[in-house]
Structure 1
């Protein structure tokens, strides 16, 4: 599959500025995403070291996954700076690195290669569904450039999920992981998705914009807006199906469980 190129395939000059310029929540959302995505080289290096037994996996991580993730960050950064050129993106990003890089190490990886591939599948579930929600939000704003950009990223993330799934199955041939072990990692990763990196991104923006110590109450307001976006635009059924896939459930059972889990999530306000 040919890789898209944000410099050629995204016409930033066609952005409808009136639709997005005054949307501070969108600014925060896209800026945080750009910080996280553009730092993927650190994770790619750590993953490559962890999977040094598998040259094919390392090649894919370095030549495809890393390059595509970084392009996502660069593309989002360019969108942010086109719409909000006064924002000191680099200065805020440097603050983000101060907060974020100490967390990026192999010490947080799962104890086996199969389980770590599983953890990456859950992460990619989060990113692919998140960008699908962003695309839907952009369409609701009637801003086609952002809708097109987030669609490209969404498709990449779904493809990444498929690769991590493939390598999870490869390692599971020898690890023979039970559903209990798989479910424990799924639950762990879902809990972690609350998510430190998003808060660090928001904190970096806040401190640079306000030249002040981080006020966490402002982040709580951002989270409320994020929840509103999720309730309107997040593809819950897709997320549930992707999360359940590693459990290898009977298709009839899986189909039955999706609306049950979705109903429980609504009751809990998720």
Structure 2
């Protein structure tokens, strides 16, 4: 019916029994992509509380964060964890995640958010662009049907979250009279942080449990990180990513066309690093 959102997908909708285990079990790269993502998504409640505190008093935002965004992010974590358990049952997810969470909690602080609510909504748009890009790339990087389905569902959720943050951003931009220059500064800074300590922290803790003999090998973890970045970059949907990234600037069409190339170069630099 018009005006009613379709019900959100459930983990039960995923047919784990159809996983082509033999095809993916030996794919170490895929294991790290899925396992590290499952950690970050499962820690979403820590981050949500910071945002709820930051936007307290704005009921529309805090209610959506609490009842929709957090629930969907945590569901992503559960679904990705279930996939890991089906394909790599020997991986001690719980122990590895506990270590990750202990460190990750130190990164989730209100003081690390942007200086104003409008700029924080800008930053949220960048983060959702990054996560949608990551899951689109994950879906493209594998022929395994169940993971393709799961990654595509998560990517669609991240695009939906982006639309909400963008709508909130526009309201705050008008209230705070934010200039394009300030918005651009936040987009640039937050894009450089996309491959942030969150992802490195997750990869490190997955590696610590997966390959304990190499836990202290910094070069090994850096290699892993570079491999995952390369997978994302190779399967990057550059056009869609650029469009999402630049949208908060609301540039005239001519200007947008003019700056597309340097922005694309910047994005490639981010995923190449």
Partner of 1:251: 253
2:235 to 223, 228, 233: 233
Task: Give runs of aligned pairs for residues 99-248 of structure 1, distance below 5 A.
Answer: 99-138=103-142, 142-212=143-213, 213-248=215-250
Instruction: Summarize the alignment of residues 77-92 of structure 1 with structure 2, pairs less than 5 Å apart.
Output: 77-92=81-96
Which range moved further: 8-17 or 210-219?
210-219
Deviates more, 1:61-70 or 1:217-226: 217-226
Q: Output the TM-score relative to the length of structure 2.
A: 0.92
Once structures 1 and 2 are overlaid, which stretch shifts more, 180-189 or 85-94? 180-189
Q: 1:204 to 1:247 in 2, by over 3 A?
A: same
2:36 corresponds to: 32
- Cα-to-partner distance string for 1:50-93 (whole Å, 9 max, x where unaligned): 11121111110011000000000000000001000000000000
Query: Residue 181 of structure 1: CA displacement?
Result: 0.7
Q: Alignment partner of 1:154: what SS?
A: helix
Distance in 2, matches of 1:26 and 1:210, equals: 15
Q: Give the drift of 1:229.
A: 1.3
Name stretches of at least 5 consecutive residues in structure 1 with no aligned partner: none
Point out the more displaced range, 216-225 or 250-259: 250-259
Residue 5 in structure 1 maps to residue 10 in structure 2 = yes
Aligned length: 266
The alpha carbon displacement at 1:190 in A equals 1.2
* 57, 62, 67: which one aligns with 1:58: 62
Q: Provide closer, same or farther for how the CA distance between residues 208 and 166 of structure 1 changes in structure 2, counting only shifts above 3 A.
A: same
CA separation of 1:51 and 1:204: change in aligned 2, threshold 3 A: same
> Structure 2 regions of 5+ residues with no counterpart?
none
1:12–1:145 Cα contact (<8 Å) kept: yes
Are the equivalent residues in 2 in contact too, given 1:241–1:258 (CA < 8 A)?
no
TM-score, L = length of structure 1: 0.93
Q: Please tell me whether the aligned partners of residues 42 and 104 of structure 1 are also in contact (alpha carbons under 8 angstroms).
A: yes
Measured in 2, the distance between the counterparts of 1:42 and 1:179 equals 31
Q: Which segment drifts farther, 257-266 or 243-252?
A: 257-266
Contact 2:195–2:270 (8 Å) recurs in 1: no
Task: Output the aligned Cα RMSD.
Answer: 1.7
CA shift, 1:267, in A, is: 8.2
Cα shift readout 1:203-260 (whole Å, capped 9, x = no counterpart): 1122223335431111221133223313421112211111111111012332343345
8 Å CA contact 2:91, 2:209 repeated in 1: no
